[in-house]
Chains A and B, each alone.
Chain A
Amino acid sequence: MIKLMIDGESVLAEEGTTILEAARKLNVSIPTLCHHEDQSIKAVCRICVVEVEGQTLLPTACNTPVADGMTVRTASPKVLKARKNIMELILARHPQNCLICSKNGSCELQKTAQDLNLNQDNRYQLQDRKVTADTSSPSLVRDMSKCILCGRCTEMCGQIQDIGVMAKENRGFHTVIVPPYGKKLTDTTCVNCGQCVQVCPVGALSIKDDTQKIYDSISAGKTMVIQMAPSVRITLAESLGAKPGSVTTGKIIHALKKIGFDKVFDSDFSADLTIMEEGSEFLKRLKEGGTLPLITSCCPAWVKYCETYAPDFTNHLSTAKSPQQMFGSVIKHIFAVNENVPKENLCSVSVMPCTAKKFECQRPEMKDDVDIVITVQELAKMIRTAGIDFDNLEDVPFDAPFGLGSGAAQIFGITGGVMEAALRTVYEVVTGENLELLDFHQVRGFEGLKEATVQVGDLEVKVAVVHGLSNAKQLLKRMRDGQADYHFIEVMSCPGGCIGGGGNAPTTKKKLQARRDAIYREDQNLPIRKSHENPYVMKLYKDYLGEPLSERSHKLLHTQYISRRDLLR
């Protein structure tokens, strides 16, 4: 252990600890901007400088390791003067329109500037980058004028997701982080996962706001139908200030009703439907010698990734639509007919933890299934805008008949969940036996790659689960090299799965743990925990679809894929 003094207090720290970490042990908070607890050390913003006795320069706390006998002052007048000056420099290059910025109130730059108590006019002439925001993507907005060049997005996109849509261009004062060759985001290989938004400390990367479309549809007197994804109930309250893992299903439904939705349905229902279709497809491929491994297609970012980087592998993707799109189809083609709502008078909305879903609903193959997608963050803003006292709302149930989902559907929101749900159903369908232990612990947890071999009757089913696209990339490579003899693979683009999705409040590994505990608790507490036991799903088959993979199912619930190889040119 290393003994050092921080602001006059003695602290013991392990060797290799940074000054920042040691200070946090003492509850001394040193401001940071480029630092992110789950990312590598960057040491570029320089706002965390501290004074170390015996050193003439001011080292940064985020990367300087502690040393025995070190005396650190984290807020001496010299340090504060330097920090204020650095902040002035950043602000002189940053637009001053904070009040209308999407990150207003949650911006790390705003918070740090407040803490620094900048009590004089900026000495430097305001000179923000004269660039217009790139709104070309259906999911994300990229406004370089607000960027502080912390480098978090490039690490997220380049290393964690291994895509690298954006990189630094130019140098010095003119440095920008941009897609290559002046391309618009939509023309790049961006998969719309929104993980960059999750880590951006300012408003340079934000979610495309589609809330106005909802207000417009309400004004137009349309029948408003909304579906809520499995993880939304886990993460929404967090966006409104609750602690991670606070589950508020009933309150959200109530809030949606207050906002103006006529029907609030549960995407858990269509997740069960997905399991029926995808599970049956898996068994069919297994029996008839179809293309294996089968790879899940619930994650639209993954689907686009596969279409771009491995178009020759799209035949491995399940043709089943994602739960969102299945539900959209059911609402437009079955619900609308039953309720006698003309199509043009129906507005089908979904609230998702995901930015890529905004892209998915615009895919020509499935156009019109879902009209508007909003993310958790957008819904949280709508709730605030509507002046709803969320914490004190009474719980309201989902609407019938699509308001019931199983525990299997609930865990779609976490990495390994789709696989676990599928295994629960596939096992019982194949063996005809009752599955006693429903928890498949081998596919749970946050390791990048999880593998399991499950005995299903006389079949040994080998499965793999990956999350985070760098892990998916490695798996694809192993498949190409013939080193992945799996039968079934689940891929989720966002680390942690949908509870870590780009549409949620900013995620950290710590918060993911709490969200994970909550989602498995939900599964545990639900009366029905297997998709094929969902009575309303069974009824849907009986009344309309016939059976899984029937002609009508194919028409409504399945899709096809294209090659996006051109994006790589």
Chain B
Amino acid sequence: MKETLLLLRNRGKIEPGNAADYIAEGGYEALKKALFINSKDIIQELKAAGLRGRGGAGFPTYRKLEFASDAPGHVKYIVCNADEGEPGTNKDRILLSSDPCSILEGMAIAGKAVNAHVGFIYLRAEYSYLLPILENAIKSSVKANCLGRDIMGSGFDFEIKLRSGAGAYVCGEETALFESIEGKRGEPRYRPPFPGIKGLFNKPTVLNNVETLANIPPIFLHGSEWYRSIGTENSPGTKLFTVCGNVNRRGVYEFPMGVNLKELIYEVCGGIEDGRELLAVQTGGASGAIINASQIDMTLDIDAVSASGGRLGCGTILVIDDRNCILDIVRNNLDFFRDESCGKCTPCREGGTRLYQLVGRIAEGRGSIRDLETIEDLAETIRLTSLCGLGHSTAVPVASSIRNFKSCFWEHIDKDYCPVCCEEGGYTE
């Protein structure tokens, strides 16, 4: 299977921090087009293209722009969410490090669409080594008059500022990200008001994932019709998939939406390493569903994965072979979530740790049927009542693994010792 290189078209071909290189490859042509058309038409074009957010929720991008465009006020912001924190995910890092100008261009087009003049890139703390590349990309783009004042003589100004996170996963949540940029403790806000009305600094704000923004220039360059020819009906375009775990060829791959998961694992990535058997796959990072080997013949597009009870999320595929134990994987997931909970709302703050404790108990062979019932109840409560997506996600791997690996839970309750879960001292309360 051959990759469709739309977003990664310039990977390895250009010097990432140099706008001139990007321009030589046709960069900023899309912006030039967008600058001289009506703002409403930009949004219309994105609507026609059917672009959906690549950060996890799959929300139609044009609607975000529409909200902010319709919101009253002169000051509006474009924010690029480069706080890629989903465990095992590298796709934004690849984009940021190989073709940053395409993201800047996407931001500028979005800015033009809603009449925003300032954009922020919120960069994950662990990616701070990318700061010089991004700084150079911005500087050289300004120099080439593709950013800054009076871009390409259009009279439109757009400036991009860099902000670094401090290592909190929850700051990838849009409102927590705003709080962080504003210099406050990174905690999500309740909604409504939605960011399109009151976002960063309480101004109408459009926040998009790095990958989403990188999709914007090709759409304007080649047209929405062309864009729709790639991918599926409801999820046009390509998607970057980070395949990690026990496969032979791990990495970031670009395929049209709708690629088959089984083919991706076995054909593209060369199957399971060391000739082991596949046990499970987790799609969408730590906040995604865990499915068993019999379920992997599935189409990877936003709606199809959702329909199967999981989420495509940011397109991370964690391949788990039979040397692992599902309980250990779930426990590890929960350890992550309890650690990353900001502590603002009760269900996530308290429930996250309780889930971890209860699953840990079962994993170590100390659990009971009642614990399993409590886990199911609690996962449901957390999903239903948490303040933000982090809380809602905590329940996903738990609920899906109980659904898809029920016998594994029974076994741990019945027997006392699981060599995987009890190894290395494993779990501590």
Residues of A within 8 A of B383 (CB): 57
In whole angstroms, how far apart are the Cα atoms of A123 and B357 in the complex? 12
A172 lies within 8 A of B190 (CB): no
B357 lies within 8 A of A125 (CB): yes
Question: Assuming A89-B351, A90-B346, what are 17 further A-B pairs, CB within 8 angstroms?
Answer: A43-B190, A46-B346, A46-B386, A60-B190, A85-B381, A89-B347, A90-B350, A92-B354, A123-B374, A124-B357, A125-B357, A149-B349, A167-B185, A172-B340, A172-B341, A173-B341, A173-B350
B190 lies within 8 A of A63 (CB): yes
A82 lies within 8 A of B384 (CB): yes
Q: A170 near B: Cβ within 8 Å?
A: yes
A168 lies within 8 A of B346 (CB): no
Q: B61 near A: Cβ within 8 Å?
A: no
Q: B124 near A: Cβ within 8 Å?
A: no
CB distance from A167 to the nearest CB of B (A): 8
Number of B residues with CB within 8 Å of any CB on chain A: 33
A124 lies within 8 A of B392 (CB): no
Residues of B within 8 A of A92 (CB): 350, 354
CB distance from A345 to the nearest CB of B (A): 53
Q: A260 near B: Cβ within 8 Å?
A: no
Interface residues of B in 362-391 (CB under 8 A from A): 370, 374, 377-378, 380-381, 383-387
Instruction: Give the residue of A49, A58, A175 whose beta carbon is less than 8 angstroms from that of B349.
Output: A175
A49 lies within 8 A of B168 (CB): no
Q: Known contacts A65-B192, A85-B378, A125-B357; is A170 also within 8 Å of B351 by CB?
A: no
- The closest CB in chain B to the CB of A174 belongs to B343
CB distance from B269 to the nearest CB of A (A): 34
Number of A residues with CB within 8 Å of any CB on chain B: 36
Instruction: Give the residue of B343, B384, B385 whose beta carbon is less than 8 angstroms from that of A172.
Output: B343
Residues of B within 8 A of A116 (CB): none
A89 lies within 8 A of B168 (CB): no
CB distance from B315 to the nearest CB of A (A): 24
Could you show 29 A-B contacts with beta carbons less than 8 Å apart? A41-B190, A42-B190, A43-B190, A43-B345, A45-B345, A46-B386, A46-B387, A49-B385, A57-B383, A57-B385, A58-B385, A60-B385, A65-B192, A89-B351, A90-B346, A123-B370, A123-B374, A124-B354, A149-B343, A168-B185, A171-B342, A172-B342, A172-B349, A172-B353, A173-B343, A173-B350, A173-B353, A175-B342, A175-B349
- The closest CB in chain A to the CB of B357 belongs to A125
- The closest CB in chain A to the CB of B348 belongs to A172
Residues of B within 8 A of A85 (CB): 377-378, 381
Main secondary structure of the interface of B (DSSP, over half): helix
B346 lies within 8 A of A89 (CB): yes
Q: Known contacts A43-B387, A89-B350, A123-B374; is A170 also within 8 Å of B343 by CB?
A: yes
Q: A86 near B: Cβ within 8 Å?
A: yes
Q: B339 near A: Cβ within 8 Å?
A: yes
Interface residues of A in 265-281 (CB under 8 A from B): none
In whole angstroms, how far apart are the Cα atoms of A90 and B348 in the complex? 11
In whole angstroms, how far apart are the Cα atoms of A344 and B339 in the complex? 58
Residues of B within 8 A of A90 (CB): 346, 350
In whole angstroms, how far apart are the Cα atoms of A341 and B385 in the complex? 65
B343 lies within 8 A of A86 (CB): no
- The closest CB in chain B to the CB of A57 belongs to B384
Q: B331 near A: Cβ within 8 Å?
A: no
A44 lies within 8 A of B345 (CB): yes
A44 lies within 8 A of B387 (CB): yes
- The closest CB in chain A to the CB of B339 belongs to A172
CB distance from A29 to the nearest CB of B (A): 19
Q: A93 near B: Cβ within 8 Å?
A: yes
